[in-house]
Amino acid sequence: MLNVEDNPGDSELVHTRLTEEGIACDFVRVETKEEFAAAIKQGGFDLILADYSLPSFDGLSALKMAKTRCPEIPFIFVSGAIGEEFAIETLKRGATDYVLKDRLSRLAAAINRALLEVEGQTKRRQAEKELEAYQKHLEELVSERTTDLNKANKQLHRELSERKKAEETLYRREREFKALVENAPDIVQRFDKELRHLYINPAVERVTGVSPQAFVGKTYRELGFPKNFLSIWERALQKVFERGRESVIEFEMPTTHGGGYIEARLVPELSKDGSLESVLAISRDITDRKKLEEQLRTASITDELTGLLNRRGFLIFAQKHFEVAKRNKRPFSILYLDLNEMKKINDEFGHKEGDQALIDISNILKKSFRASDIIARIGGDEFTVLISEPPRSELERTVAQHIQDNLRVHNEQTEKGYKLSGSMGMVHYDPEHPSSVEELLARADELMYEHKQHRELKSETIPSSKGGKKEERAYDRYETEDKCLAELVVSGSAMIKNISFGGISLRTPQRLPKNTIYKIKILRNNHAALSLKGLVIWSSLTEKGFEKDDAKPYYEAGLRFIDLNDSLTSSLENMINVFANTGENRPS
């Protein structure tokens, strides 16, 4: 494997992880453009792993060079920070996959998928070469047959005794030609200008269950094939007869073992005078290739560990459900669940047991909900469920009871030194006052965090609210200018979303624990303008990036000002007046 990485430690970590996953390989690390160019020129690599950002080189440039010089080698980005939009762009440019450095557990599976795909492509190219050789061999046989016939004709008037020998030779050649075609795994067929079958080999019976004799002299339409199939074939054959050029088509075809996908190559055949008299078609079953493509699509929206939908998959299916619910004014509910004590399980029992805990809670959720509900793992230990067609009353109590019962049964049946439990929040979609899926998720996350802070009360229901909007505020809040910053002692930089006389709303790269006090330094022009104390009232996950063009999730938190004296209140009032009097900053 060729590793484009400037950090030897990260390279060694990847190599070690692959070894642990049972992938033995020679590992070559390069970090400059010149080293990378020399390595791919030398060749001998089965896979390229690349960081997307290096001091003197970048992953996209490496990808471009690889696609130009060795396009058959899979190229996987392994990076510590890569946004979803950038990841999609790398795939569009030809990258095989991408894996975050903090999720190296995915790397082995990504490599195996990439190598499996290369193996499939290699087999397909080999098969195409074999078909080409086979076609060439057929042409050679035809040429040899013609030569033999010409020789036989010349010898007829010379020696009658040679006639029998020539006939035997011709018969042998025809038998060989027929044996090759009739034992070929692909369907070989010939059509006339009326689209009737002039010939078709026995392979068609293995696929359709219909004997070759039934095809000869008839069109697909006369044989009663489906309309969609007829439309594809008739249009393709007519196109070849009209233009005299080869064509390739893909289509679904009824087979003896169900539906299958077929790729057919249509080749025009000319008569002695150069006119087009027939079309030869060679059809191959590509069902396995299509299944692999579908598996790759499914993998992109599926959580590899639990088999549930991942965050991307949940948002796709939830958005579709939301659009239907909004159009028909139908309610639905979203449950947000966080597995308690996940860090403790990992620290005390190991990450393998931590993974098993995630799998166990996934199975419990599957038992607790209906097949029509959408269940997903959207974060490390965070799960969500979209409950379609929820009952009109006591949903929270019913859901809590189902989950708690299944948790209790699981904990009683397993002896692992810990018990599974979860903190939950639920939000109900209000058709009369619609909220987006992102707003509903954020509100359910807040309620889950509230439940986590007070789970010692052992409530038999789930905190919930109707709609994704928060309650009315006691103070008008004023938006700050773009990227107005604040510093939190211990937690570092944050972006101010809005501010009021009662508190401040911040955007932070990590969740701020509820009921925690922070010292807040509000910055203007990169200088501390005001220092206050704030108590965290709420904190929730959002979808947008911390920076304007960043797709990485971040958190929002609301803090209430505390310990305000007259001097601080006056300074705060002056700052808010500045925001209130600018044309672009209005109360929110």
In CATH, what is the architecture of 301-466? 2-Layer Sandwich (3.30)
393-403 pLDDT per residue, tens? 678 888 999 99
- In the sheet that 332-339 helps form, which strands lie side by side, from edge to edge? 374-377, 382-388, 332-339, 422-428, 464-466
- Euclidean distance between CA atoms 269 and 223, whole angstroms: 24
pLDDT in tens, 505-552: 888 888 888 778 889 888 776 666 788 998 888 877 765 544 544 545
- Pairwise pLDDT comparison (47 vs 207), residue with the higher score: 47
Q: Give the pLDDT of residue 545.
A: 45
Q: Which of 126-135, 173-182, 521-530 has the lowest mean pLDDT?
A: 521-530
The encoded tokens of residue 400 equal 């809590």
Six-digit token string for 413: 């049946």
Report the C-alpha gap between 196 and 215 in whole angstroms: 8
Fold held by 125-289? Beta-Lactamase (3.30.450)
Please give the share of the chain, as a percent, with pLDDT higher than 90.
Answer: 33
Q: Which CATH number applies to 478-581?
A: 2.40.10.220
Residues 119/289, Cβ–Cβ less than 8 Å: no
Where residue 481 falls among pLDDT bands split at 50, 70, 90?
Answer: low
Enter the CATH code of domain 2-119. 3.40.50.2300
Q: At which residue do the structure tokens 């993974």 appear? A: 355
Q: How far apart are CA 587 and CA 415, in angstroms?
A: 56
Domain residue ranges in the chain: 2-119, 125-289, 301-466, 478-581
Residues 333-385: pLDDT tens digits? 999 999 999 999 999 999 999 999 999 999 999 999 999 999 999 988 999 99
Alpha carbons within 13 angstroms on the beta-carbon side of residue 233 total 25
561 touches 532 (CB < 8 A): yes
Distances (CA, A) of 374 to 370, 378, 384, 391, 428: 9, 12, 8, 16, 15
Give alpha helix (H) positions in 70-214. Answer: 84-92, 107-156, 161-182, 203-208
Nearest-CA neighbor of 422 among 394, 462, 391? 462
Residue 447 main-chain phi, psi, to 5 deg = -65, -35
Q: What percent of the chain has pLDDT over 70?
A: 89
**Average pLDDT of the chain to the nearest whole number:** 84
Could you give the CA distance from residue 586 to residue 581 in angstroms, rounded to a whole number?
8
How would residue 260 be classed by pLDDT, with cut points 50, 70 and 90? confident
Q: Is the pTM value of this prediction over 0.95?
A: no
Q: For residues 476 and 264, which has the higher predicted lDDT (pLDDT)?
A: 264
Distance CA 344, CA 364 (A): 20
CA dihedral sign, ordered 516, 518, 524, 525: negative
Q: Do 546 and 495 form a contact (C-beta atoms < 8 A)?
A: yes
Residue 301: count other Cβ atoms within 10 Å of its Cβ.
Answer: 16
Residue 64 φ/ψ region, left for φ over 0, alpha for ψ in the -120 to 50 degree band, beta for the rest: alpha
